[in-house]
Structure formats: structure tokens, C-alpha cells
Amino acid sequence: MEAPVWTKEFQCRGHESALLDCDSSDRNTCSSGKAVGLTCSEPDNFQLARGSSRCAGELEMKKEGWWSKVDVDDHSAWNLKAADVVCRHLDCGSAVSSGWKKMDYYIGTWRIRSTCLQSKSAVRECISTKSYTSFSKLEINCSDSVRLVNGTSLCSGRLEVKSNQSNQSWSSVCEDDFDLQDAEVVCRELGCGAPSVLQGALYGDMEAPVWTKEFQCRGHESALVDCDSSDRNTCSSGKAAGLTCSEPDDVRLSGGASSCAGTPEMKQQGQWRPVTDWDTEWDQKLSSAVCKRLDCGSAVSTNISSSSSETPVWGISRSCVQSDWLVRECLWLTGYRKSPKNLEVVCSDLLAQPNISFSTHIDGVSEATQQGLRVLMGSDFTISCSVLPQYPGGSFQLIFNTSDPEQKTYTLPAVNHSAHFLFSAADSTHRGEYRCVYHLYAFSHNFSSESRPLHLTLAASLTHLVIRLVVLVLLVLVSGAALFCYSKANRGQTPRREDNMEVRYLCGADDLLGEEAGGAQGSE
């Protein structure tokens, strides 16, 4: 401590409004290093009212003894990340959803600066002025008894469970006490998708206290505290349960002929609504983010048309659009108002993957093997390409790769969304890999989609086997005859007359005549 030092001992009862209002008495001499240090918790002047629990409802702030509703200064800057700051301030875990509810009248609300919540930990530091022109109220739904901390998003982190509702203490969960079915319940409770990673100490080691029960969820429970549990063994260090949930299946392109074309929509609070940003400059970024999220490639077309229909829409935070990734933390609810435009997006992977199939004709028989399809030599066969009926027209290109470097291609127009490539008299040149590529010109762009590969091998037919057997027998006979004649010639023996016919057949009539003539001359 530094001089001077207070010379009185405070004797407060706790209800005084100021420290100087407390009674005091003379104190003893204070030794060095005994300066008092104090940390106060945030004032209990925020609440979520009229919800299903203390962690869900309309955000209110207590000021001058009165509870008043809280709205934000800029709806376009509000998102689930900002709501998560409020949830953690209220010791309510993670933000699950947030939006506005339309009012039929204007009410006085305190304004909270949305951008302030991104960098400040104290909510009260972000409250600005009171306004009497608001016609909406902010609603936030937080997870009550579970949260993920130290993660990269609201759907990842080290798992903590509220171990005591009265003193609001949180406990880490041991990895050995937590399995995939337990993780499914947590991810669902947090409004996330299915669990994708479950690994101990992934987001830091556990901090005391540690949860003293082992969860025994069946996977269908709506909250982790609804699961059965039993006493656990001692949890060793480095075993804090780390969980990563996938993003929820809450993005789609609606109204198009393909899942990769249409109006962007997102699902929040169980409702599908169009997404808009009200700024033409951000439409292309929003379109790219939607295509990327849906694994539909990149945005190749963004069409904007005016809209006069009165429908609830989701707004999208610009900061999230800038990051070229679309997640639920970016959404904010605009309320029931007329959307000034209708956005239609076309992604590069517009077309469904075509199918490739194989068939043989009349006398041909095909056989499936581990290496692919096997067709009999000499058979006629057909490679067929087809695609789901999304758009009329287009063409199919059949690409044929052999063991040789040369690649062959064949092209036919799509008739009834299919094409058939006929091949006759299969031989070794037809062995290889076939792929169908569907090409279509639409929305002023060329699109294409490729099928899985089809591997074709060859097998000899019964006819070919018989012919090969006959040829083999003839070769054996001819070889034997030639060997016999060669042996007779080397020995110089004259065949017996009774063998003349056999030898004449095997070795030739001219040879026998020559031998007989030579014999006659010798006798004379």
C-alpha cells in the first residue's frame, strides 16, 4: 500500500447506499502489504423475462428501479455471437437463438450497441440511450445447463455443465463419462448439427470443479440433464471432454429446379425464411457463401428482382458475409416487413450427377467382378448415360480411357434426359474406363456434371472357347505329324506296304513315290 492510509475501521451492515454511510471505529495500525483488494461481480440488472426459463425470453434492463425492454441500435449488426455475450453474462450457457418480436405499438427501450458486444465483456458498458420509438422487442434463447467454452464457434469447445442451479457453478465433464449418444443430446440442445469430433482435452484441460456423474443418455433426450447418470470413477488429468458439433442443416436454396439454385433460405427457431442483406454490394458475397455452405461450388449467377410481398425474412450480418462463410451466428430477424428485393442464386454445381449404366445385346452376357463389368468377346453392348429431369436439352459426352495414352470421346444429344452409346463386336480395344459427362447451357452459363467411372473388362465366349480348342487340337496333330515324318526321314526306313496309306496321308504321296522308286532301282 501507499500512504496515506484510512484511519477508521468500517462497520457496515450491508444495506447502506454508500461506504461513508457506515459506522466506523478507530483501527489498529495496518501492516505493510495489507491493502484490501476487491472484485465485484456484474450488477444483477439484466434479465430474460416471460420465457420458458430464466435463460429464455425478452431482454430487460433495470435502471432507476424500473425494468425496461432492451433493443439494439443496429439490427443488421446483431447476430447470435452478440446474443451469446448476453447469455454468458446471465450465466446461462450458450446462445441458441435470437430474434425480434413485432409490437403493435411503440415502447420505450434501452438501446444496446451491437458492435460493442463483440469486443466488450461487460454488457452494461454497451448500453447507450433510451429510445421511445421502438416497435420491436429483443428475444434471446440460451442453453440453460450446458455450454461449450474455448471453442472456435458456438458449436465447439470444452463441455461444461451447470452443477448447481443455486450458486450457478459450472463443472467440466470427464471424457470417460461422455460418449457419442451424450454428444448427440448436447449438440441438439445447443441448436447445432450432429457431433463430428469427440476428443479429450481438445479445447484445453479441465478446470475444477469436475462433474461427479457419468451420463447415460439414449440420444433422444432434449437436454443433457434429462439423461440418466451414475457415479463415476476419478477422472485423470487431460481428460476434459472436448466436443465439436457440425453446423445445423439450416441453409437451402428454395424454388429452383436443383438444390444448387433458388432463393437463399435459412432455418432459425424452427422456421425457414428467405435471407437478405438489403445491400446490393453484398449480394454476390452472400451468394458465394450460400453455395459454399451447400457444397455447390461457387456462385455463377445472382439475379435480383423487386419484391412487394410482406413476409418475414432473416437478415444477415455483413461481418459474416465478408468472411465468405454462412453460419447461424450471422442471422438476425428483421420482423414482418416487406422485403425490397428477391434474391435468386445459381451455383456452379447446378446439375445432379449423371448415372452411367451398361447392358449387352441378345447373345451377350455381362458379369460383375471386383474389377468392374465383364463382357464377352464379340458381343454387342451399350453404355447408357442419364440424368434427373431438371432442365430440358443438353448433351452427353462419353469419355473412354484405355491403358494407352489416347483418350476417345463420343457425344450424343440428350433425348428424354438420356443418351445411349452402341458398341459392336467387343474386343480388347473396348477394355478400359468409361465416364458420362452431362453438358447444359442455362442461365447464360455452361454447366457440366460427371458420373462415377465404369470399368469394363472382357471375357471369352463359349464359341470362342470351342474355336480355340479346335485350333489347339489341330496344332497338336500337325505338330505330331511333322515330328513323325521328320523322324522317318532321318532313319531312312522304308515303310511297310500296309502302312503306305497312313504314311502317305501323314508325309505326302510324293515322298512315298520317291521312296518306292528308289527301292525299285536298287533291286534291279
Residue 173 forms part of a structural domain = yes
pLDDT in tens, 396-441: 999 998 766 778 899 999 999 999 999 988 888 888 899 999 999 9
| pLDDT number for residue 508 | 52
**CATH code of the domain covering residue 270:** 3.10.250.10
272 and 340 assigned to the same domain: yes
Q: Is pLDDT larger for residue 413 or for residue 511?
A: 413
| pLDDT number for residue 414 | 95
199 and 223 assigned to the same domain: yes
Distance CA 8, CA 25 (A): 5
Cα–Cα separations (whole angstroms), residue 55 to 96, 98, 120, 162: 10, 12, 21, 13
Q: Read off the DSSP letter of residue 354.
A: P
Q: Is pLDDT larger for residue 216 or for residue 336?
A: 216
Collapsing DSSP to helix, strand or coil, 489 comes out as helix
179 and 210 assigned to the same domain: yes
Report the candidate in 62, 63, 59, 84 with the shortest Cα–Cα distance to residue 71: 59
513 Cβ contact partners less than 8 Å away, ≥ 6 residues apart: none
pLDDT > 70? residue 259: yes
pLDDT-based confidence at residue 57 (cuts at 50, 70, 90): very high
The residue among 459, 480, 513 that closes a domain is 459
Q: Read off the DSSP letter of residue 323.
A: T
267 and 233 assigned to the same domain: no
| pLDDT number for residue 412 | 96
pLDDT > 80? residue 4: no
Q: Name the least confident of 233-242, 250-259, 373-382, 494-503.
A: 494-503
Contact between 333 and 268 (Cβ < 8 Å): yes
pLDDT > 60? residue 462: no
Q: Is pLDDT larger for residue 281 or for residue 369?
A: 281
257 and 240 assigned to the same domain: no
| pLDDT number for residue 421 | 95
391 and 445 assigned to the same domain: yes
Question: What is the percent of the chain with per-residue pLDDT over 90, rounded to a whole number?
Answer: 14
C-alpha cell at 488: 522317318
**CATH code of the domain covering residue 424:** 2.60.40.10
Q: Name the least confident of 202-216, 240-254, 376-390, 470-484.
A: 470-484
| pLDDT number for residue 246 | 84
| Grid cell 451377350 in the structure block, residue | 364
| pLDDT number for residue 384 | 93
pLDDT > 60? residue 323: no
What string of H, E and C letters represents the secondary structure of 142-193? ECCCEEEECCCCCCEEEEEEEEECCCCEEEECEHHHCCHHHHHHHHHHCCCC
Distance CA 214, CA 516 (A): 109
pLDDT > 70? residue 299: yes
Half-sphere exposure of 454 (CA within 13 A, CB side): 25
pLDDT in tens, 103-161: 766 677 888 887 777 655 578 788 877 766 666 778 898 998 899 988 888 888 989 99
Distance CA 436, CA 378 (A): 24
Residue 269 forms part of a structural domain = yes
| pLDDT number for residue 395 | 96
Distance CA 142, CA 168 (A): 15
153 and 220 assigned to the same domain: yes
Q: Which of 188-192, 267-271, 516-520 has the highest mean pLDDT?
A: 188-192
Residue 90 forms part of a structural domain = no
| pLDDT number for residue 339 | 58
The residue among 459, 480, 505 that closes a domain is 459
Residue 340 dihedral angles phi and psi, to the nearest 5°? -75, -10
pLDDT-based confidence at residue 193 (cuts at 50, 70, 90): confident
Q: What is the domain extent for residue 448?
A: 355-459
pLDDT > 70? residue 183: yes
Average pLDDT, the chain: 77
Residue 70 forms part of a structural domain = no
Residue 155 forms part of a structural domain = yes
404 and 333 assigned to the same domain: no
pLDDT in tens, 150-168: 888 888 898 999 876 555 6
267 and 234 assigned to the same domain: no
337 and 265 assigned to the same domain: yes
Q: Read off the DSSP letter of residue 221.
A: -
| pLDDT number for residue 422 | 93
| pLDDT number for residue 509 | 47
Contact between 439 and 448 (Cβ < 8 Å): yes
Average pLDDT on 236-256 reads 82
Residue 191 forms part of a structural domain = yes
Q: Does pTM top 0.85 for this prediction?
A: no
Contact between 124 and 130 (Cβ < 8 Å): no
pLDDT in tens, 209-232: 788 788 899 888 888 888 988 876
| pLDDT number for residue 166 | 57
Number of independent structural domains in the chain? 3
Beta bridge partners of 459: 376
Q: Name the least confident of 170-174, 374-378, 395-399.
A: 374-378
Contact between 160 and 147 (Cβ < 8 Å): yes
Residue 188 forms part of a structural domain = yes
Residue 263 forms part of a structural domain = yes
Burial category of 31 from C-beta neighbours within 10 Å (exposed 0-12, middle 13-18, buried 19 and up): exposed
The residue among 245, 280, 297 that closes a domain is 245
| pLDDT number for residue 435 | 94
336 and 300 assigned to the same domain: yes
Question: What is the percent of the chain with per-residue pLDDT over 70, rounded to a whole number?
Answer: 71
Report the candidate in 231, 120, 131, 211 with the shortest Cα–Cα distance to residue 171: 211
pLDDT-based confidence at residue 366 (cuts at 50, 70, 90): very low
The vertex-386 CA angle with 385 and 390, nearest 5°, equals 150
C-alpha cell at 229: 447418470
Distance CA 82, CA 70 (A): 13
| pLDDT number for residue 515 | 47
